[in-house]
Structure 1
């Protein structure tokens, strides 16, 4: 199924539950409400509709007539807009204030001239008598400026009945929308039916990094993009209804509090399920969110946690939740900003059961011991490990999408994942559980390593060259710490990790010489500790084959990954031994 067709189908499902606005309407951020008396005078001060407390106030999302699509021109909305249009006031420079307010007044005078509805007549009276200076004269709040404003008649707002909800207002809006419809009739590429074609598609809002006014998936704003004499949307005929449906559901999925979105790298990722009933679809969506976004202990139901536990244990979904495995199609769409347009970063469609199985394989690939503090970190935490300074905006743009593709489809991980992790290790010398887990995942899936060759936990019998060199480097670091303490200006890891993991022959001779001096110092204070450290070094050296060039001039990328794995295991083995010794001492004391 195509992207737009799948989105249109999702709209139909959500429309049945009234979770998306009806045709011709849009869910927008509304900050204030002006209640009007019958003569058009304000019925008191504006009502603040924003939610929250203190300085953390957020506009309320309300369904209002669909906004005009603005580029650089002046285009007022119907029965609502920001204060520069509605009231002629703004907190900014306001170079076009007079023109914007005049356009708003003219549109409503033209549209409502024949109405006899008392609420709409009150609005016309308000616009006739209003001047921008009245804002300050009435003492209306400064924080109202530049917020979106709606109207209500009398005390209708107490029943959540706004001016645009009145039957007369809906009838006028329906006439305006139909009269402005592009008259070109063609076969819609989404529905396959002959229908009026959308010249301009509604804006998509909420894409991270995109314009606040919204972006477009389908747009033709230059002659070079057009073909065969067609103009604007005629070049890719999508009906008015289908264009509205796919943008309405996307805007719903992209809302800040939506449970159908994830931020993966620079891509705003939306996902949804198509099932036989709404509860099953919602359960699949919540499970997917928990897979990649992490469990929210306050919001995730116990059923979702139970499903994830079984998937991670390797149980097929059809064994414990057949209603999720059979007939549940799942869709994942990644959107990245590109000026006024939006780029499709990735698009996946599969049965939920297959996605769950591929996720289980990914969980098995990244298993590492000792594990990170959170045994199942969200995907964004792994991506941060590839970024300079660990910042989301520094995640390589294409890497996030390629990694997600590998996870969801069960294909190989991008090799840029390996190169980025190795580069970060050489740069900041931080060998974390998450980074080592990613290194192991690439070795398992891309290079065909077995659990024995790239072990989950410390393996004292592993004879792989890279793994042994990583272990040896960790022992040398521990020897330095035993001799000099932990308060040295720069450890051998700080100085030599990058070179030792890439060009061991050049570095390990230096490390061995320094280690001899450190062992001598340890032996003077703690002879037993020196013996144990020498045994550890000897055990590792004993696994190295002199005829197999144990200290090669360079290591390949996969061997560097094994170096990191060996280093991580050996370093943490010292902590395990230390904890074991402490426990033994406590038992002896008892």
Structure 2
């Protein structure tokens, strides 16, 4: 189904209106005059700004152009038309891996294909390039300059003749369309039923490559059979999943349009908005809908600028029941691993459900005291790993969280485990991990778990124990004079959240010393502690994983309540009250 929907996306947006051409990054432009004399070499690489909110050094990327569709090479030397790598265009390569005879043969293949097209189409621009390729002195000048400036073996090169790009020459484009990319690898004598269109057609032997995060830079195929273990019924390689060239080209182009941040529409010639989220170094979520929808195009902002998504959801112009509410929405999680692409998971729903689930997500991660803007998903995920490096996340975790947000599914225990373990490792609960814990419990619809703010009436023992630890910490701060380099939480949080029966008796004794130092002012904290432990007969010997999560939320909510009260005290310059009925009155 998913390949079928990608094919329909490509058809709907006109990505394969001209299937003989595709959008590709071309780094080098060889500039010639009308007689084919070499003038200069232009590097199209430029800095691409990082997404808003993302830190790091901007990457440099080559400009995108609509060029003749590349052939998709195997081990056999096959030239591409008009645009190719240096080993075919100039007979040179940066690492000198190939012999001079091999490079000469490849250069001749490229030149012969261009000569054939130029003569057949009577293209003056094509003839000028042919003259350049035949002039060893001019060609070597260009090869020397590109070597001095530094280039990669997989950089693509093209030509500009007398101010016009060679691949824009309409006579050459028409010739290429009529030729029909006759160098394709399918065997026209053998037809099979295409899995996508259902018609009997020759099936492609090799699917076009996609550039996917984590895979080799030259690209990988989404459909491939590279081992006999994957083959059945006596069929070989991709005959196990026969797809005709037309359908293959369409689904690949649809996926490229979603992944490539600088994709150029073949129909309009304008850049299109990518629809993907880079979750980790090797995992990407791609998504689309049956119709053009503003919400779908904004989903990538969840990572670092989620306020844009929430503003759209709250916009009165969007309405609650749009005409596209029941249209289908699709999402894939894809990972790259060297020479292969892995489809980790897929899901589909409706745009109406997507809106509801996003609103629930924003409600679930909201913490009392937030300054209006929701926390970026990228920050939430980074809080689960050492030094905030997303590549250290477990492979499935980021994708499961993203699916849970978009489709309202229960988050896996892996999320809870990662948050709890990181709390213990750092001996603290950050706002980001507190938000993730709220999201986890909300997805499991555990009503006993307070969300967003302190629930002083909660009878859940782990939650109350977390509140108690925070109260002991605040008591220590008051008794020992405000800011401390190291509090009891820095020492005891991990043990208190897992083995409260061992740690809390020590904390009770320690709190008595702190209460004694406060004198009459300690009565407020004594009353608060009594209210928290009321009904807890014994400190549990161990807490389960979910109980540790509720413990962390209790600690965080109570701590934030103290923080807000301290701020209020600074503003009002008044003494603490002793009303313990609600956490908001704690000072």
- Report TM bin, short chain: 0.7 to 0.9
> How far did residue 352 of structure 1 move?
0.4
Secondary structure of the residue aligned to 1:324 is coil
Which residue of 542, 546, 565 corresponds with 1:577? 565
1:414-563 to structure 2, matched below 5 A, reads 414-446=412-444, 448-450=445-447, 453-485=449-481, 488-521=484-517, 523=518, 527=519, 529-541=521-533, 543-546=534-537, 549=538, 551-563=539-551
> How far did residue 497 of structure 1 move?
0.5
- What TM-score, normalized by structure 2, do the two folds share? 0.85
CA distance in 1, matches of 2:286, 2:390: 18
From the superposition, tell whether residues 139 and 436 of structure 1 become closer, same or farther in structure 2 (CA, over 3 Å): closer
Q: Which moved more, 1:190-199 or 1:109-118?
A: 109-118
> How far did residue 103 of structure 1 move?
0.9
Quick check: 2:449–2:550 contact (8 Å CA) kept in 1? no
CA distance in 1, matches of 2:240, 2:449: 55
Quick check: 2:463–2:551 contact (8 Å CA) kept in 1? yes
> How far did residue 93 of structure 1 move?
4.2
Which residue of 261, 268, 272 corresponds with 2:284? 268
Which residue of 208, 213, 217 corresponds with 1:208? 213
Residue 315 of structure 2 corresponds to residue 324 of structure 1: no
1:166-198 CA distance string (max 9 Å, x none): 323541464261353521322211111222311
Quick check: 2:123–2:171 contact (8 Å CA) kept in 1? no
CA distance in 2, matches of 1:393, 1:139: 35
From the superposition, tell whether residues 224 and 518 of structure 1 become closer, same or farther in structure 2 (CA, over 3 Å): same
From the superposition, tell whether residues 489 and 93 of structure 1 become closer, same or farther in structure 2 (CA, over 3 Å): farther
> How far did residue 487 of structure 1 move?
5.8
Residue 350 of structure 2 corresponds to residue 351 of structure 1: yes
1:349-428 to structure 2, matched below 5 A, reads 349-371=348-370, 375-428=373-426
> How far did residue 342 of structure 1 move?
0.8
Residue 205 of structure 2 corresponds to residue 217 of structure 1: no
> How far did residue 34 of structure 1 move?
1.7
From the superposition, tell whether residues 575 and 53 of structure 1 become closer, same or farther in structure 2 (CA, over 3 Å): closer
2:45 is aligned to: 50
- What TM-score, normalized by structure 1, do the two folds share? 0.85
2:579 is aligned to: none
2:169 is aligned to: 165
> How far did residue 30 of structure 1 move?
1.0
Secondary structure of the residue aligned to 1:466 is helix
CA distance in 2, matches of 1:120, 1:580: 77
1:129-171 CA distance string (max 9 Å, x none): 236643366688614565321113322x2xxx42453323541
1:230-267 CA distance string (max 9 Å, x none): 33322211010111111112112111354311112442
> How far did residue 366 of structure 1 move?
3.1
> How far did residue 392 of structure 1 move?
0.8
Structure 2 unaligned spans of 5+:
50-57, 263-272, 576-587
Which residue of 215, 221, 232 corresponds with 1:227? 232
From the superposition, tell whether residues 101 and 356 of structure 1 become closer, same or farther in structure 2 (CA, over 3 Å): farther
Which structure: greater helix fraction? 1
Quick check: 2:16–2:249 contact (8 Å CA) kept in 1? no
From the superposition, tell whether residues 75 and 164 of structure 1 become closer, same or farther in structure 2 (CA, over 3 Å): farther
CA distance in 1, matches of 2:305, 2:313: 9
Residue 75 of structure 2 corresponds to residue 87 of structure 1: no
